[in-house]
Amino acid sequence: MGRLIAIGDIHGRLSKLEGLIDKIAPQENDQIIFLGDYIDRGPESYQVVEYVKKFKKLFKLTLTLRGNHEDFVVSLFKGNMSQYLRNIWLEDNGGKLTLSSYKKAGHFLKIHQDFFMSLPVYYETEKYIFCHAGVRPGIPLNKQKMSDLLEIREPFLSSEQNFGKIIVHGHTMVNSPEILFNRINIDTGAGHYGPLTAIELPSLKIWQQM
């Protein structure tokens, strides 16, 4: 087994992803875990998904988790996205930029439907639980609601509880990686003006790309 490395929210920033992967220089036996939010906000959502799909083919141990932004698209495909939610996604959450990135590339979102639909919501190892947003304190992992794993902020973020395993997550932007006894947050706002962050576990080695 090689290195275990988690990568935070990318949000359509291809150059940050490419630069970060160059720095990490992944090897065949490394396991890279993407924490979700590949799309929205940045200008290159289509290209980021293409990159991640190719990366998975090259590095077979790679895992790509679902973020709340991919979940918007999944509900779009399932046909159960309300008009209200659709507007929030398009106007407030960067969905319009995602659609235009696909359009410019000459594709519909549907070209990546299988990818979006296949993304698991969490992944567990002996020491860690990887998920996009976090967990609801006091509830066992197998009883967690999908909406919490994808969207929770409080009371997770200020919880002093030991979750049994360290939760490695993104979703809530921080200025620099947050490494606490019970959780690790590596969403450093790549979708806006922050860098994209990766962390190696258990060494806590960090890579960033602006």
- Residues of this chain that bind Mn ion (CB under 5 A): 9, 37
Which is nearer to Mn ion, 127 or 153 (by Cβ)?
Answer: 153
With CA atoms as reference, report the closest residue to 169 among 9, 61, 3, 26.
9
Structure tokens at 206: 């960090």
* Ramachandran region, residue 109 (left: φ > 0; alpha: ψ -120 to 50; beta: rest): alpha
Exposure class string for 100-115: b at 16+ Cβ within 10 A, else e = ebbeeeeeebeebeeb
Q: Which is nearer to Mn ion, 26 or 94 (CB)?
A: 94
- Cβ proximity to Mn ion: between 61 and 63 the closer is 63
What is the closest distance, in whole angstroms, from the C-beta atom of residue 82 to Mn ion in the complex? 21
CA distance 85 to 163: 31
The CB-of-191 to Mn ion minimum distance in angstroms stands at 6
How far are the Cα atoms of 48, 69, 119 from residue 54, in angstroms, in the given order?
Answer: 10, 20, 15
Residue closer to Mn ion, measured from CB, 27 or 32: 32
Angle at 81 (CA atoms; ends 13, 133), nearest 5 degrees: 50
Min dist CB 126 to Mn ion, Å, is 27
Would you say 66 or 112 has its CB closer to Mn ion? 66
Shortest Å distance, C-beta 98 to Mn ion: 13
Is-contact 148 93, C-beta < 8 A?
no
As measured in angstroms, the least distance from the Cβ of 113 to Mn ion is 21
